[in-house]
Amino acid sequence: MLFFLQQAREIITLVDKTTSNLQTDAISGDVYIGCGESEAVKMITDVYTDILETHSDVRLHLFSGNSEQLSEKMDRGLLDFSFVIGRIDQSKHDFIKLAKQDQWGVLMRKDNPLSSKKSIRKEELSSLPLIISNQPRASEEISNWLLHDVFDLRIIATYNLLYNASLLVQSGAGFAICLDGILNTTGESPLCFRPLDPPLLADLAIIWKKHKPLSQAAKLFLSELKKTSTHKNAL
């Protein structure tokens, strides 16, 4: 029953999305964007804020999820764009690579002795109780950096949202391998972030489905986004 209810909701969303985008020739309507966890999502919100100054009838809808979940929603026609971290399936998606990259590192308590270090090396991870992302792409990137399977390390937990993992870190259970900038670790926060050494950087991109016509509102968003990036559209 829950499956059919979810399917019905997705059909209604798709119908509403199509109806909204066909109502007028003016630049108005809805833009649907899926987002992974990253500080760089601010680029999307900044672009939309600029659009609102001249096109107040454009509405933004944000959906959170991992790359696999967002790609599936896009394939169903429920998203115009997805903000993704890491590699891209270029057979299915057109994309813009963003100028910014996210940095991998370790989230830990400020009162832990390791916090005195400026960065964390591979060999220092081997004895730590680690909390890692449950996304296959993240595990693959970290394994490539380690030069061996990340699951050879002492993995005590996995996460799909860093906030929940940060509670485990705060309780003293372990150390989270994560991207920088997602959580605020300044001021009175009991946590801190230390980058991996050598650095491990994650590419960021906005993707959309190949050969799928975009609404005027989505085209406007894409046009404005291109102006903020120094990378050329990889079509």
Residues 12, 89: one domain? Answer: yes
At 159, which CATH number? 3.40.190.10
183 and 115 in a common domain: yes
- Say yes or no to pLDDT of 56 above 90: yes
Our count of domains for the chain comes to: 2
Helix (H, G, I), strand (E, B) or coil at 176: strand
Same domain, 114 and 131: yes
> Residue 4: which H helix or E strand, with range?
helix 2-22
Q: Verify that 42 and 22 share a domain, yes or no.
A: yes
Residue 26: what pLDDT?
Answer: 73
Distances (CA, A) of 136 to 61, 86, 133, 140, 150: 26, 11, 8, 6, 11
**Model pLDDT for residues 168-225, shown as the tens digit of each residue:** 999 999 999 999 999 999 999 999 999 999 999 999 999 999 988 999 999 999 999 9
CB within 8 Å of 153: residues ≥ 6 apart:
125, 126, 128, 130, 146
Domain that holds residue 160: 103-201
Residue 157 reports pLDDT greater than 90: yes
pLDDT > 70: what percent of the chain?
87
| Residue 161, pLDDT score | 87
Residues 61 and 35 sit within 8 Å (Cβ to Cβ): no
Helix axes 216-228, 41-54, angle to 10 degrees: 120
Task: State the Cα–Cα distance between residues 200 and 141, nearest whole angstrom.
Answer: 8
pLDDT in the model for residue 199: 97
pTM for this model (two decimals): 0.80
Kind and range of the H or E run holding 75: helix 67-75
Band of residue 65 on the pLDDT scale cut at 50, 70, 90: confident
Q: How confident is the model at residue 80 (pLDDT cuts 50, 70, 90)?
A: very high
CB distance 139 to 86 below 8 Å? no
